[in-house]
Structure 1
Amino acid sequence: MFNKKPLLISITLTIIIAKLFTFDVKASEQNNKNKLPEIGISGFSVLSLDKERQIGEAMMRQLRATQPIIQDPVLTEYINHLGNQLVKNAQDVNYAFEFFLINNNELNAFAFFGGHVGIHSGLLTTAENESELASVIAHEISHVTQRHLARRLESQSNSQALNMAGLVSGILIALVNPTVGMAALSASMAASQQASINYTRSNEKEADRVGIALLANSNFDPQGAPSFFAKMSEKYRYASKPPAMLLTHPLPESRIADARQRAHQFPVKQLSPNLSFELAKARIKARYQSTPSDNIANFKQQLQKQSYSLPAAANYGLALSYFENKDFKQAKDLLEFLLKTDKNNLFYIDALTDVYLALKMNDAALTMLSELSLLMPNNQVISLNYGNALLESGDYEHAASVLQDFLIISPGNYIAYDLLTTVYRKQGKKGLMHITKAEVYALLGAYNKAVDELQTSYDFVEEQPLLQKRIKARILQLQEQENKLKRL
């Protein structure tokens, strides 16, 4: 219920990012023109870790504004838990990672500056088990820890003076939408195309080596990598249009053979089906793919033929499909049954909250969530659902309190600010409404709109001088964030 279409925001951030790289490359050329070439390229002369982090945050804001990111607290919780299971065993981790899902059935995953990893929803529903999905995420984590984008830029700047602004402006497009973006990249890299291809193949080989070791060390089946590679290769062997992932991650037979050989160096792990993975897969299929009636038929067929990995996941998918089809009573019966078997399962709790609210059983939702909020304080699934249930019930003061407390712990949460904006609007607190709306715009990289909202809020809080001072300070902070990118 939380997922919304992204707002279309100006591409100013892309221009700023491109200028950033142009400056860094020119400075690098001036400082290094008399130095002997180094065999080991680290990427630090083009892009420091601090600048990489800032640019990654700017790119993430742009993605929120332009791509259908799945704003779903349950799926966000799952994909970040899975990703961080891998990160805690990775080497050379320089910053906190952020994992997110994009509502796109194409097979694709990508990583960019500052530890950001995007996974298309189609990739999750295609993977047969969690080890296959984890293998792709481990590969992308390895691209980040090995700083492949920065090293690629350094390789380009060391070979010849290319149009780096054009190169960088195409990177994000190519990662998210390769069929469009690769054209932009190839135009910028035409002068040294073969060198770029060879360097990219080297990156892929290194990411495979590091990623498979990371997969094994994180208690996943290392065979997940060659298994998924082989599946993709076979499926798209004769396809006229390969999936997006194969455009940015080429998959020749030699790479599959290397992956098999590397995986065999580790003990095989026989893992049982993972419930969270199967529930996430069912949730995406029921909420983001096909039609409710088709999904009901598909999940019913799975249950009748027992063609599922776990019966609970098939029942969960059926319950969500009932909900999407507005068969709320049937969804309620199934979800309450599932919750009895696993009373703290966030997938069930989130879905049952939606059902209770749809059936106007607000008290049932609030009782369930108030108890869980004591057990799991500031958990994003519980806090956001609790805040939303209080909002739907008209208890605006309590809703605001829950969301404010959560934002202290998670200050960059888009959904929380969006809900809090609605709460303040319902209360008629226009000053606070414009303040939180400004934070929504700031998370989308729309700094000018954010400042406009803050300036509008100023006149509504004339009797609160302390709040006016905070508004002025926040305006200066946002302006400084934008100017800092330009100054770099």
Structure 2
Amino acid sequence: MRLALGIKMRKLTHIFYCTSIGTITYYGYHSTMRILYLLALLASFIPSSMADGLPDLGEASQSAFSPQQERRIGDAIMRDIYRDSHYLDDAEVSEYLNNLGYRLVSHSPDNQRDFEFFAIKDGTLNAFALPGGYIGVHTGLILAAQNESELAGVLAHEIAHVTQRHLARLIAGQQQSTLPSLAALALAILASRSNPQLASAAITTVQAKSIQNQLDFTRDHEKEADRIGFQIMKQSGFDTNGMSNFFERLQKYNRVYENNAPEYLRTHPLTNDRIADMQNRAANIPYRQVPDSMDFQLIRAKLRAFQGHPEQAIASFKEILNDKKYTYEASAHFGLANAYMRARNFAGANNELNILKKSNVNNAMVANFEAQLKIAVGQPESATELYRAAFKHYPGNRAIAYGYAESLLQGKHSREALQLIQDQLRSYPSDAKLYDLQAQGYAAQGKNLLQHQSLAEAYFRRGNLTAAIEQLQIAQKTKDGDFYQASIIEARMKELRALDAESKKQ
């Protein structure tokens, strides 16, 4: 599948999972130009998988797209997203989304598939599924969810798009309608020689039929994603009303603001029948109240604290606390603490932190915030001790691991930091942040070849092949590596150059 990198973030969601549809007008130029135009239009009906000559793997969706091809395409898109300024590179938000996402995935029809959940800094309400198990969520949608079950409902719906391989099935469906479209367009080409008006009508008919077929596929896929997503929610222990409640609220918003519809509705066609079906399914399940996790509340508070100007965020949280307009008081204090930190009002941040500690809020995000505050006020050794204790208590938390490594490096404990980073890389070999920290550790020890090798891996994982190759070239010029290390650099250089050449063909 041919994909141009550098896609604008807002347009990604129109490519996956929904395709925006435009209008094509036929122009009565001379015969040669008409035929060239029609051939270009003809090419648009041919799925790129056919052009690439993919083998027939049996199942319709498999013949259009193998899971391996989906993953490669998803990887290519994500390399572009990682470089985009809208990508939210926040360890705590990523940790939360992936924990929630994998809780749902464990109850999905394809629970062995790899997924990655990530956030996009965008105030609009949207979420989208990319090929290969990548699922993006706009921060605006996280903030708009009134409870965790509503957010889980959206993620479950997107997970279903992936597990049911809807993109591959959509392409397979287009393949099945290709030959009739080709025949109709061939007739249009012939007709254009003597009757341009007739040709124009024929083209319009073919286009309309193709669009209708696509819409039929999309509607069916949305219904299936609702049904599968509902089962995922149910088996994961969430309130099954969350999905229908959120979608119904979106639809009401759309009626009021017809010309400013939520982004989610533009990429996920919503009907009254779909909402009614979700509500009927939920009505057949005994109601039970499902409390939000503390992580959900703290993440939403943190995201809100980073909206707008710091002083505005401070004023907003103070108003929430004064008027008691909160679901969990602790989350409001956490949001205010983050807003104070943004404003570099460390005394205010510390005051809110003390309130949280007195309330016995035991959470990795609070522990991380306390250590980060120590770093901000110039107490790295105190931060290291806090991180050491937090790492024992939350050993799998990446935000804690990052902070711990950073504090060790600031305290000139590079050997201990590098050991910690190496242990983390065994669990998370694709983590660019860990390679950045590893490069800092090697730089502190004066190991130039290893420093630039680590930087190359960090750039590669962020999708910047050019910078990765440049770092390997710098590594080759250093004089502190042995023959074995130089051989590794040379082999990796060949590998990345081959990938770079392949990406430029797309």
Is residue 2:417 matched to residue 1:399?
yes
Paired position in structure 2 for 1:436:
454
TM-score by length of 2: 0.80
**Is the 2:47–2:171 contact (alpha carbons within 8 Å) kept by the matching residues of 1?**
no
**1:208 maps to what in 2?**
226
5 Å matches for 1:124-273? 124-160=142-178, 192-239=210-257, 240-273=259-292
Contact persistence 2:54–2:64 (CA under 8 A): no
Residue aligned with 2:456, SS: helix
8 Å CA contact retained: 2:368, 2:387: no
Total equivalences in the alignment: 444
Q: Root-mean-square deviation (CA), in Å?
A: 3.1
How far apart are the structure 1 equivalents of 2:378 and 2:491? 42
Where does residue 300 of structure 1 map in the other structure? 318
1:123 aligned counterpart, secondary structure: helix
1:67–1:102 contact (8 Å) kept in structure 2: no
The structural deviation recorded for 1:481 is 4.7
2:482 aligned residue (445, 449, 464): 464
- The AA in structure 2 aligned to 1:280 is I
Q: Is 1:78 equivalent to 2:103 in the alignment?
A: no
1:125 deviates by 0.4
- Contact 1:94 1:145 (C-alpha < 8 Å) held by counterparts: no
Counterpart residue number, 1:6: none
Amino acid at match of 1:92: D
**Aligned to 2:128, what secondary structure does the other structure show?**
strand
Q: CA deviation at 1:423?
A: 4.0
Give, in angstroms, the shift of residue 10 of structure 1: 6.1
Deviations 1:443-487 (A, max 9, x none): 132323312211220121454222112212222333455567799
Moved more, 154-163 or 221-230: 154-163
1:99 aligns with 2:109: no
- Structure 1 residues 463 and 437 mapped into 2: Cα distance closer, same or farther (>3 Å)? closer
Mind listing any 5+ residue stretches in structure 1 that lack a counterpart?
1-8, 33-37, 164-187
- Which residue type is aligned with residue 113 of structure 2? Y
Provide the identity percentage: 34
Can you list the C-alpha shifts for 1:107-161, whole angstroms capped at 9, x where unaligned?
1100111111100111000000000000000000000011001111111122116
Normalised to the residue count of structure 1, the TM-score between the two structures is 0.83
Note if contact 1:107-1:243 (Cα within 8 Å) is conserved in structure 2. Answer: yes
Moved more, 407-416 or 460-469: 460-469
Which residue in 1 is equivalent to 2:337? 319
Match of 1:107, SS state, is coil
* Structure 2 residue ranges without an equivalent (≥5): 13-42, 182-205
Task: Report the Cα distance in structure 1 between the residues aligned to 2:316 and 2:96, rounded to whole angstroms.
Answer: 24
* Matching residue's letter, 2:327: S
Amino acid at match of 2:96: Y
Measure, in 2, the Cα distance between the counterparts of 1:59 and 1:161. 30
1:69 correspondence with 2:87: yes
Give 1:409's aligned residue.
427
What code does the residue aligned with 2:162 have? V
Superposed displacement of residue 299, structure 1: 1.2
Task: Return the index of the structure with the highest Cα Rg.
Answer: 2
**Match among 439, 447, 451 for residue 421 of structure 1:** 439
Q: What corresponds to 1:26 in structure 2?
A: 51
State the alpha-carbon separation in 2 of the partners of residues 117 and 90 from structure 1.
15
Among candidates 68, 71, 79, match of residue 53 of structure 1: 71
Instruction: Show CA shifts across 1:228-250 (max 9, x none).
Output: 01111112213212121111112
Map 1:345-424; keep pairs closer than 5 Å.
Answer: 345-377=363-395, 379-424=397-442
Mapped partners of 1:80, 1:469: distance in 2: 36
Maintained 8 Å contact 2:120/2:136? yes
**Counterpart of 2:92 in 1: which secondary structure?**
helix
Report deviation, 1:358: 0.9
Q: Distance in 2 between the 1:161 and 1:410 partners?
A: 46
Verify the 8 A CA contact 1:74 1:350 in the aligned structure 2: no
Kept in 2, the 8 Å contact 1:441–1:449? The answer is yes
Give, in whole Å, the separation in 2 of the partners of 1:162 and 1:447: 42
Which amino acid letter does the alignment assign opposite residue 251 of structure 1? L
TM alignment of 1:8-47, pairs within 5 A: 24-26=49-51, 42-47=60-65
Distance 1:423 1:463, change over 3 A: closer
Measure how far apart 1:429 and its partner are.
3.6
Cα separation, partners in 2 of 1:419 and 1:336, compared to 1, 3 Å: farther
Q: Separation in 1 of the partners of 2:208 and 2:146?
A: 39
Deviates more, 1:329-338 or 1:276-285: 329-338
Match of residue 474 from structure 1: 492
